Structure 1
Amino acid sequence: MKNLKKTRRIQVILLAFFTLALATGLIGYAMKDGINFFRAPAQVMSDPPKDGEVFRLGGLVEAGSLQRGQGETISFRVTDGAATVPVEFSGVLPDLFSEGTGMIGTGQMVGGTFKATEILAKHDENYMPKEVIDALKAQGTYKEPAKEPGV
């Protein structure tokens, strides 16, 4: 009788361990495609991403680089002061998107050009995404925004 209880207890523990391992594996597999890592242009140039890897690219839109193509196709260059990456985007840009401002795009590299599927831009004149600020500070090109008097 004691032997049967001990055997049953071991079976339940092994089943629980197997179920937990399976659940952990399925969660990891599901999250594989949902994680987008942020990269600055200098990181993209020094350590190119794998083919088909989706990631976020952030920096400043280079002045004088914004070109509108056929239909909704827009091309521009993103820089962090150390490197520049050409970007192509088909779609409607955010209203506050402009040259010389911070942006983050989600997409992948195709033949040396970042093909963006989504573009995020600042939401007011002082906002810049934290990842972009960190990348610009690492390159030594970040400038603190001027504060308004009385703020």
Structure 2
Amino acid sequence: MTPTRKKRLILISLVVMGVGVATAIFLTAFKDNMMFFKSPTEVSQNDFPENRSFRLGGMVKEGSLQRIDNSLKIRFSVTDYGADVQVEYEGILPDLFREGQGVVTIGQMREDNVFAAEEVLAKHDENYMPPEVSNILQTEAQQ
């Protein structure tokens, strides 16, 4: 093999290895930042990532809203009309948050089967419902 070909082969090998390493780093970062969306039915069947944040969506169950006195802590249930999940959140809720409306929460399940929400997102106009919530509610209604 001539020295020119040897140099080209080494250069091509280094480029291929560099692309492989960059792809591996990208895929690892993408996996770590991926956030799953789960319905109350899936959560009640223990189909959720453990020790990781995920999104829980559905409707705020009528009559489930409980405010804890002298704090910003609130408890409510999220339902997809097939199952309910108890959610606990401490903070200021969105203005449009209320019972009977679509909601998406971000957080983790605790060992006591309560979803500890870090963020609560409510619908922002009268016609909007998050696509994931709409799909889940349609699936539950058909069953």
Scaled by the length of structure 1, the TM-score of the pair is: 0.87
Report runs of 4+ in structure 1 exceeding 4 Å deviation: none
Q: Is the 8 A contact 2:61 2:99 kept in 1?
A: yes
For each residue in 1:110-147, what CA deviation from the matched residue of structure 2 results, as whole angstroms up to 9, or x when unmatched? Answer: 02111111110001122110100000011017xxxxxx
Does residue 129 (structure 1) correspond to residue 130 (structure 2)? The answer is yes
Q: Indicate the SS of the match to 2:136.
A: helix
Counterpart-to-counterpart distance in 2, 1:61 and 1:105: 11
CA separation in 2, counterparts of 1:14 and 1:47?
46
Alignment of 1:1-151 (within 5 A): 3-69=2-68, 70-111=70-111, 112-140=113-141
Structure 2: which amino acid aligns with 1:44?
A: V
Q: How many residues align?
A: 140
Which letter does structure 1 place at the counterpart of 2:92? Answer: V
Counterparts of 2:97 and 2:28, CA distance in 1: 35
Partner Cα distance (2:102, 2:109) in 1? 20
Amino acid at match of 1:125: E
Task: Name the % identity.
Answer: 43
Q: What code does the residue aligned with 2:26 have?
A: I
RMSD: 1.4
Q: State the one-letter code of the partner of 2:84.
A: T
Q: Within 2, Cα distance between the matches of 1:43 and 1:49?
A: 7
SS at match of 1:119: strand
2-structure distance, mates of 1:32, 1:68:
36
> Partner letter of residue 23 of structure 2?
T
TM-score, normalisation: structure 2: 0.92
User: Structure 1 residues 50 and 123, CA, compared in 2 at 3 Å: closer, same or farther?
Assistant: closer
The one-letter amino acid paired with 2:99 is E
Q: Tell me the distance in 1 between the aligned counterparts of 2:133 and 2:121.
A: 12
**CA apart distance, 1:101:** 0.3
Q: Match of 1:60, as an amino acid?
A: M
- Equivalent-residue separation in structure 1 for 2:122 and 2:87 (angstroms): 14
- 2:107 maps to a residue whose letter is G
**What's the offset of the Cα at 1:21?**
1.1
After TM superposition, the structure 1 stretch with the greater mean CA deviation from structure 2, 42-51 or 111-120, is 42-51
Report the Cα distance in structure 1 between the residues aligned to 2:90 and 2:15, rounded to whole angstroms. 49
Give distance in 2, aligned partners of 1:52 and 1:6: 52
